[in-house]
Structure 1
Amino acid sequence: MSNSKDSVSRTIIVALVLCVVCSVIVSAAAVILRDKQKANVINEKKMNILAAAGIEVVNGDVATAFATITPKLVDMRTGQFSTDEDVATYDMRKAARDPSQARALTPDEDIASIRKQSLYSTVYLVEGEQGIERIILPIHGYGLWSTLYGFIALESDFNTVAGLGFYEHAETPGLGGEVDNPRWKSVWPGKQVYAQGSYTPEIGLIKGKAKKVNVHDIDGLAGATLTSNGVTNLVKFWLGKNGFAPFLAKLKAGDA
């Protein structure tokens, strides 16, 4: 009887020791890999910005490719560039969760279903000898199952789409998840956000396949109506009066 009890006790002790050892190993690995994980997240974000801008990454050298891009901070309240925050460390998503760094959107304003908007946004400029060649804007909004985070790039007229891509979402694979399909993303370049003389977005997804002559229409996502509506709403929000439209108007006029 005593041997049986000793056996059980030893088994429990061994199990506890193994649990402690495994916990220490997992915790140590998490700490050791934390910096690498953060670096990978930053690198992935840079790759998506470059992809939206149509800038090729040669031999996997993201740093060199990204050196051609200038990040700047925009005050969403004034529609002008700002140096109030450090553009290198500013986190829009974190700021949006802080009432002192964000504004609550009214139901009428919140067509993208994001609830709060950070007071500042980080935009990315591709500049050449003639000035801004392309501008990459952060966009996000709710689809069917998740908030989609991505970037839309505009040409130097601040109206023609150069590219679009989402780097984070949890939409249904094969349906809403088709936002990742290169074929679908390829229909965006060349489309027009605004009608001439207006800063009210006309661009959006339609049911079925868009005709090439319709410069504002984007192919809808088959079988994913709610995700399609979500993409339309988030693009219209971020390129509308409560998003980047005032900034783009001032930028075009040279007042940003």
Structure 2
Amino acid sequence: MSEPMSNENKGAIAQFLAAPPDSVGKTLFVAISVCLVASMIVSTAAVSLRPTQEANKLRDKQVNILQVAGLYDPASDVTEAFAAFEPQVLDLESGEFTDAFDAATFDDLAAADDPELSRALEDDPASIGRQARFRTVYLLRDDAGELDKVILPLHGYGLWSTLYGFIAIEENGNDIFGLQFYSHAETPGLGAEVDNPRWKQQWNGKRLHDDAGTLQITVSKSAPAAGADFHVDGLAGATLTTRGVDNLVKFWMGEEGYALFLDKLQAGEF
């Protein structure tokens, strides 16, 4: 049998119940109770919605890869269409694929925070701090099984944010099919014009390297000496975003990024 409530406790509870509704004690009690209930609801919703959020995140990534490869059809099933791609984890230091990781689950961005899988950058034009030594790339083959395009992830800092995107390279390792960003926080109407279809269309048919093998692709207001084949017009009124895109593309297409892999593509090794 439980012990009877002490007179002291009876007095405290009675005083609380007898207090007016707008008393400090009751106000604090209601506020704390509402906070606790709300936090429980939010936590429960976050846990229950996580699988849906992850599924939406994966679908968005697949849509962006399909779009940059020119294969996206809103009327088609995204998962079925994406099955045409062959994901591979690329070792940037060797330019070769590795089977040390599962390409379906490897998290490139998380790897950049792992000291064993990444390196700190001294020369960091893309302003990313650390670079993962491994990246997931996506191969697209034609009906005959021959390589058609390669989709490479890239990212770098613009004016206000890090821009995350993909670039599609033709099988020759030099011609660009397309580029687009799927996440950024650049200024609407200015830097955010990286999402403008007319601006993105400029990338189609541009080249990375000249005949001598020198990286020439440039995003700027004026064409470089190398010529129009290597030039994408900068964004009007968004000088720093333009510079950021120029820096990140040159970084990832250069020696610190996919250069070895692109060399192997040009040699027909894949």
With normalisation by structure 1, the TM-score equals 0.91
User: Do the aligned residues in 1 keep the contact of 2:208 with 2:217 (CA within 8 Å)?
Assistant: yes
> CA separation in 1, counterparts of 2:19 and 2:238?
61
Rounded to whole Å, the distance in 2 between the matches of 1:123 and 1:50 is 13
User: What does 1:100-179 correspond to in 2, within 5 Å?
Assistant: 100-107=116-123, 110-128=124-142, 129=144, 131-179=146-194
What corresponds to 2:33 in structure 1?
Answer: 17
Structure 1 residue 220 corresponds to structure 2 residue 234 = yes
Which whole-Å CA distance do the structure 2 matches of 1:46 and 1:33 have between them? 20
What does the per-residue CA deviation read over 1:14-51, in whole Å, with 9 as the maximum and x for residues that have no partner? 33332222221111111111111111111111111111
Cα pair 1:134 1:154 within 8 Å, conserved: yes
Q: 1:189 aligns with which of 204, 209, 218?
A: 204
- Residue 51 of structure 2 corresponds to 35
The percent of aligned pairs where both chains have the same amino acid is: 49
Gaps of 5+ in 1: none
- C-alpha distance 33-130 of structure 1, shift in aligned 2 (>3 A): closer
- C-alpha RMSD of matched pairs (Å): 1.9
Instruction: Work out which of the residue numbers 189, 192, 195 in structure 2 matches 1:180.
Output: 195
Q: Does 1:63 align with 2:111?
A: no
Q: Distance in 1 between matches of 2:192 and 2:74?
A: 27
How many residues in Structure 1 have an aligned counterpart in Structure 2? 250
Task: Return the alpha-carbon distance in structure 1 between the equivalents of residues 73 and 252 of structure 2.
Answer: 27
Separation (CA, whole Å) in 2 of partners of 1:58 and 1:113: 35
* 1:233 aligned residue: 247
Counterparts of 2:121 and 2:148, CA distance in 1: 32
C-alpha separation in 2, matches of 1:12 and 1:99: 46
CA distance in 1, matches of 2:186, 2:231: 22
* Inter-partner Cα distance in structure 2 for 1:197 and 1:53: 27
Please say if residues 208 and 222 of structure 1, whose CA atoms lie closer than 8 Å, have aligned partners that are also in contact: no
Which residue identity is paired with 1:187?
Q
Q: 1:111 aligns to what SS in structure 2?
A: coil
TM normalised by structure 2 equals 0.87
Q: Is the Cα contact below 8 Å between 2:172 and 2:268 reproduced in 1? A: no
SS of residue matched to 1:148: strand
Higher-Rg structure is: 2
Q: Which structure is higher in RCO with an 8 Å CA cutoff and minimum separation 6?
A: 1
Contact 1:209 1:220 in 2 (8 A): no
Displacement of 1:197 in angstroms is: 3.8
Residues 157 and 163 in structure 2, CA contact (< 8 A), matched pair in contact too: yes
Kindly indicate whether the alpha-carbon contact (under 8 Å) linking 2:63 and 2:72 is maintained by their aligned counterparts in 1. no
Amino acid at match of 1:178: E
Question: How much has 1:244 moved relative to structure 2?
Answer: 0.7
